[in-house]
Chains A and B, each alone.
Chain A
């Protein structure tokens, strides 16, 4: 198990290296750079010398290979460079926003999983009854309603019903938990609905499959209480495929909430991403892509390890 884990962790290095090469060179294929955007975007008439001097300052005049090497060496020392727009360290730019995005993602996951498990289980156990139909309607709604639109509905109803809107500025949870939660619970709900729908449907279908397995019949033939048949014998097996979906959805939430962040006026990773791309802020884009790629890789690794924890066949084979 330990050897397997180490091997898997080491295998993430070439994957991330590949991502780094791709993002670095693809950014530079696109014409234009941050200096142009900064100095000439608004029709400003800046002389070529000034532009060249700026480029030199950011090392953009060096050959690409050298630039890449510099970036790599920096990352190896955990220095992700400085943003070419704000000239603040990339780490600093990302960290506050990541805190926000991560919190929304975690809250959405918790909401989704805690609702999805009972919802999916009920639907499977009462298959083809009104309960099942109700769950299916709710979940199909979650899949078809865009999160940002659902978010807008939430905001409008808060305004219409309570004449109240959540705070606009972000307070970290360790500063003021109440303020923090009253702000972030709404976007978490908005994206959690869709998330919950995906997971609930997964649990429903995998539970239905598991309930048809021979070992469920064996459990019933032993006279095991029906509750125990479901919770101990069926659900534990059915949750395995759901873990994959939960993990993948989670990673998506980290960087993929651009529009929802806009709706709730959150300064998260998604917004920062859009901003940095429109500014051609190479260093920041690279840093964020690497961050999100690393998230994907490690969440997937975590899923595989979780599988091994839940499924002895993987653990021992």
Chain B
């Protein structure tokens, strides 16, 4: 992008005809614990047809900024004490409510994160799409219906006439997000704000939606503000990037420069702490240590200083936004030194994370594991069998991490629950240290549970809110009589807390007093309390912010090395799985598609589904992302009540032939140690 430099040098000119110009925006929230400054002094502009990404971790103020542009902040608690939002020459913050309502949906529209809850469940899709058309464009019923059909076709929904009469629950998550986009585009807006538009979606659906949005914004010349924490998404779509940290913009530049020549230590750290899909795991993930500051009490001076490895005395003073050599802005006193290459992110001290030489004897061996659920449909009394897990087989050796990837509904979580015997398998064997868990009695299971532990996804809901951290971690110790008395129990809890990088004083706190990362550490400590040899990590890091996610992954690897643990690492994030696993199992629709050594799988995937999955995931590097055409996967997951015959992937596979619709492919060893279930490879 040669225009990038030009763009920056004529920044004032660009601002003059900018579509949206935000000046010195401040947003405060009144809470019981005092005023929280959610956004402070944010200024940026968006040119017509431009894609601007706002990146930051949770609580950095990115969503609040978007909602203040739309004036959709909660009225009672939110205050905008200062700032201007200029749009089409008018300050949106000064407009009367009625004028603002006219702009919403017509000139600026917004697409939200949660497609499952963002549509009204009791109104038809048609009504919801037609609403802005009748209100803003003065269309009558008939015109609006015609336009709604057109919009549904535009966003790739077939059979629009019939679909208009349906309700949101009859659409899948990806389809609902398409509907949201159709609503957003209904009145040909000049600006669309998308707040984490694909975060709740699977990788293949995410790729479809992002491609669609990018396409449409180019075609219709719509400016787009994308708010996200996913740097891969940013790399693929953004022209310009704004990085926010602790309510402030810390860096702004064209996308290429933010990724290749970051001028703020936070951006540098953020880019380094993301596991990369396109790079083999060399070493420990580099992370930003510590936690983001509390929004009710920001530290004086540079807000990133407490976590910054390059902190010097001057960082005690508040840094302004400096123009950088790359034509952007950076809120760092030392940006010139960064530009001169005098400061580089310290190379990680540890080398390769020293993979344990795994013995050949399997610790856990799953053979033909099968789980069917019978379902009874609601009013119509339909019933059927859902084959959640079908003939799944794999081994895990002591000290090994086996990654289990797949999209939602592929049965990966059920496999985890079956191994933990939270569900009873319909068929197959689960051998752990030679014993078959599938038919173990309750008392046998109790003994085995000591050795098999679990870490759950949601650090918010998997800890009892009425128990202190000490009680949560100590509970299994007392249940299993692992400690003789209260004193010893407390000592063990402190030891466990230190093991997961928390201070022993934390034992007295309650879960709500901890951050997400800290809670996940408590979850890990609870699992470790039993001295297990095997831990099921079910999406253990997917709810965490990037910088925190890196910390937890490193902790898990560290513990594995020290304690010789084996992990079954269940996740949907291919990059994270690549980073942490030694071997990877790919599941689709209840069946195993491919099993291989990590590097082999990512370098030379055999199964068409694995290829598609790897292709769909965006990589945080704009030069790679913008250069390639994604091979889009068509369609969606088939219905579990009407599964495809033959190979379950045949409905979406580009290589499928007639044979694929007849034969269920067996998982075969195509190359030494590389298994795939496909008749075409």
Q: Is B126 in the interface zone, CB < 8 Å from A?
A: no
Do A3 and B112 contact each other (CB < 8 Å), given the known contacts A223-B103, A223-B105, A313-B169? Answer: no
The reply to whether B122 and A310 contact each other, CB–CB distance below 8 Å, is yes
The reply to whether A313 and B132 contact each other, CB–CB distance below 8 Å, is no
Closest beta carbon of chain B to A223's beta carbon, Å: 3
Q: Is B170 in the interface zone, CB < 8 Å from A?
A: yes
Residues of A within 8 A of B120 (CB): 215, 218-219, 233, 237
17 contacts between A and B (CB under 8 A): A3-B381, A214-B117, A217-B118, A219-B131, A220-B104, A221-B70, A221-B72, A223-B101, A223-B103, A223-B132, A223-B135, A224-B132, A233-B123, A310-B122, A312-B167, A316-B379, A317-B378
Residues of B within 8 A of A224 (CB): 101, 105, 131-132, 135
Closest beta carbon of chain B to A243's beta carbon, Å: 13
The reply to whether B119 and A218 contact each other, CB–CB distance below 8 Å, is yes
Q: Once bound together, how far apart are the Cα atoms of A236 and B131, in whole Å?
A: 16
Q: Is B465 in the interface zone, CB < 8 Å from A?
A: no
Chain B interface (Cβ within 8 Å of chain A)? 70, 72, 76, 97, 101-106, 109-110, 112, 114, 117-123, 131-132, 135-136, 167, 169-170, 180, 183, 186, 377-381
The reply to whether B112 and A214 contact each other, CB–CB distance below 8 Å, is yes
The reply to whether B104 and A217 contact each other, CB–CB distance below 8 Å, is no
The reply to whether A225 and B379 contact each other, CB–CB distance below 8 Å, is no
The reply to whether A223 and B104 contact each other, CB–CB distance below 8 Å, is yes
Chain A interface (Cβ within 8 Å of chain B)? 1, 3-4, 7, 127-128, 213-215, 217-226, 232-233, 236-237, 308, 310-317
Residues of B within 8 A of A214 (CB): 112, 114, 117-118
Interface centre among A128, A217, A218, A220 (most CB of B within 10 A): A218
Q: Once bound together, how far apart are the Cα atoms of A3 and B104, in whole Å?
A: 45
- The residue on B at minimum CB distance from A216 is B120
Q: Once bound together, how far apart are the Cα atoms of A313 and B114, in whole Å?
A: 18
Do A221 and B110 contact each other (CB < 8 Å), given the known contacts A215-B118, A237-B122? Answer: yes
Closest beta carbon of chain A to B63's beta carbon, Å: 11
The reply to whether A221 and B105 contact each other, CB–CB distance below 8 Å, is yes
Residues of B within 8 A of A218 (CB): 112, 118-120, 180, 183
Q: Once bound together, how far apart are the Cα atoms of A216 and B110, in whole Å?
A: 13
Residues of A within 8 A of B135 (CB): 222-225
Q: Once bound together, how far apart are the Cα atoms of A225 and B105, in whole Å?
A: 11
The reply to whether B121 and A311 contact each other, CB–CB distance below 8 Å, is yes
Q: Once bound together, how far apart are the Cα atoms of A7 and B132, in whole Å?
A: 41
Q: Once bound together, how far apart are the Cα atoms of A317 and B114, in whole Å?
A: 21
Q: Once bound together, how far apart are the Cα atoms of A222 and B102, in whole Å?
A: 9
Q: Once bound together, how far apart are the Cα atoms of A315 and B72, in whole Å?
A: 33
The reply to whether A217 and B379 contact each other, CB–CB distance below 8 Å, is no
Q: Once bound together, how far apart are the Cα atoms of A3 and B383, in whole Å?
A: 14
The reply to whether A226 and B379 contact each other, CB–CB distance below 8 Å, is no
The reply to whether A223 and B72 contact each other, CB–CB distance below 8 Å, is no
Residues of B within 8 A of A225 (CB): 101, 135
Q: Once bound together, how far apart are the Cα atoms of A218 and B179, in whole Å?
A: 12
- The residue on A at minimum CB distance from B136 is A223
Closest beta carbon of chain A to B97's beta carbon, Å: 8
Q: Once bound together, how far apart are the Cα atoms of A141 and B573, in whole Å?
A: 56
Q: Once bound together, how far apart are the Cα atoms of A76 and B112, in whole Å?
A: 59
Q: Once bound together, how far apart are the Cα atoms of A217 and B120, in whole Å?
A: 10
The reply to whether A314 and B378 contact each other, CB–CB distance below 8 Å, is yes
The reply to whether B106 and A223 contact each other, CB–CB distance below 8 Å, is yes
Closest beta carbon of chain B to A253's beta carbon, Å: 29
Residues of B within 8 A of A221 (CB): 70, 72, 104-105, 109-110, 112
6 nearest A-B residue pairs (beta carbon): A223-B105, A223-B104, A222-B105, A312-B167, A317-B378, A4-B379
Do A220 and B72 contact each other (CB < 8 Å), given the known contacts A312-B167, A316-B170, A317-B378? Answer: yes
Q: Once bound together, how far apart are the Cα atoms of A213 and B116, in whole Å?
A: 11
Residues of B within 8 A of A313 (CB): 121-122, 167, 169
Closest beta carbon of chain B to A131's beta carbon, Å: 14
Residues of B within 8 A of A128 (CB): 76
- The residue on A at minimum CB distance from B379 is A4
The reply to whether B122 and A317 contact each other, CB–CB distance below 8 Å, is no
Task: Kindly identify which residue among B97, B106, B114, B169 contacts A312, using a CB–CB cutoff of 8 Å.
Answer: B169
The reply to whether B121 and A316 contact each other, CB–CB distance below 8 Å, is no
Q: Once bound together, how far apart are the Cα atoms of A217 and B117, in whole Å?
A: 10
Q: Once bound together, how far apart are the Cα atoms of A312 and B167, in whole Å?
A: 7
Residues of A within 8 A of B132 (CB): 222-224
The reply to whether A232 and B123 contact each other, CB–CB distance below 8 Å, is yes
Residues of A within 8 A of B121 (CB): 215, 237, 311-313
Do A223 and B102 contact each other (CB < 8 Å), given the known contacts A217-B72, A233-B120, A312-B122? Answer: yes
Residues of B within 8 A of A127 (CB): 76
The reply to whether B167 and A316 contact each other, CB–CB distance below 8 Å, is yes
Q: Once bound together, how far apart are the Cα atoms of A311 and B167, in whole Å?
A: 10
The reply to whether A311 and B122 contact each other, CB–CB distance below 8 Å, is yes
Task: Kindly identify which residue among B106, B117, B136 contacts A213, using a CB–CB cutoff of 8 Å.
Answer: B117
Residues of A within 8 A of B105 (CB): 221-224
The reply to whether A226 and B101 contact each other, CB–CB distance below 8 Å, is yes
Q: Once bound together, how far apart are the Cα atoms of A1 and B118, in whole Å?
A: 27
Residues of A within 8 A of B76 (CB): 127-128
Do A314 and B131 contact each other (CB < 8 Å), given the known contacts A215-B117, A223-B104, A237-B121? Answer: no
Residues of B within 8 A of A215 (CB): 117-121
Task: Kindly identify which residue among A3, A217, A316 contacts B169, using a CB–CB cutoff of 8 Å.
Answer: A316
Q: Once bound together, how far apart are the Cα atoms of A236 and B123, in whole Å?
A: 9
Q: Once bound together, how far apart are the Cα atoms of A218 and B131, in whole Å?
A: 11
Closest beta carbon of chain B to A125's beta carbon, Å: 11
Residues of A within 8 A of B186 (CB): 222
- The residue on A at minimum CB distance from B124 is A312
Q: Once bound together, how far apart are the Cα atoms of A7 and B120, in whole Å?
A: 30
Q: Once bound together, how far apart are the Cα atoms of A223 and B97, in whole Å?
A: 10
Residues of B within 8 A of A317 (CB): 169, 377-379
Residues of A within 8 A of B102 (CB): 223
Closest beta carbon of chain A to B108's beta carbon, Å: 9
Residues of B within 8 A of A223 (CB): 101-106, 132, 135-136
The reply to whether A3 and B380 contact each other, CB–CB distance below 8 Å, is yes
The reply to whether B104 and A222 contact each other, CB–CB distance below 8 Å, is yes
Q: Once bound together, how far apart are the Cα atoms of A314 and B170, in whole Å?
A: 11
Q: Once bound together, how far apart are the Cα atoms of A233 and B105, in whole Å?
A: 16
Residues of B within 8 A of A219 (CB): 120, 131
**Known interface pairs A221-B70, A222-B183, A223-B105; 18 further A-B residue pairs with C-beta atoms within 8 A, sorted by A's residue number:** A1-B379, A3-B380, A7-B381, A128-B76, A214-B112, A217-B118, A218-B119, A218-B183, A219-B120, A221-B104, A222-B109, A223-B132, A224-B105, A224-B132, A226-B97, A226-B101, A310-B122, A314-B378
Closest beta carbon of chain A to B177's beta carbon, Å: 12
Closest beta carbon of chain A to B32's beta carbon, Å: 14
Residues of B within 8 A of A312 (CB): 121-122, 167, 169
Residues of B within 8 A of A226 (CB): 97, 101
Q: Once bound together, how far apart are the Cα atoms of A308 and B121, in whole Å?
A: 13
Do A217 and B112 contact each other (CB < 8 Å), given the known contacts A1-B379, A222-B131, A237-B122? Answer: yes
The reply to whether B379 and A314 contact each other, CB–CB distance below 8 Å, is yes
Residues of B within 8 A of A4 (CB): 378-381
Q: Once bound together, how far apart are the Cα atoms of A221 and B109, in whole Å?
A: 6
Task: Kindly identify which residue among A213, A220, A232, A315 contacts B379, using a CB–CB cutoff of 8 Å.
Answer: A315
Q: Once bound together, how far apart are the Cα atoms of A146 and B681, in whole Å?
A: 79
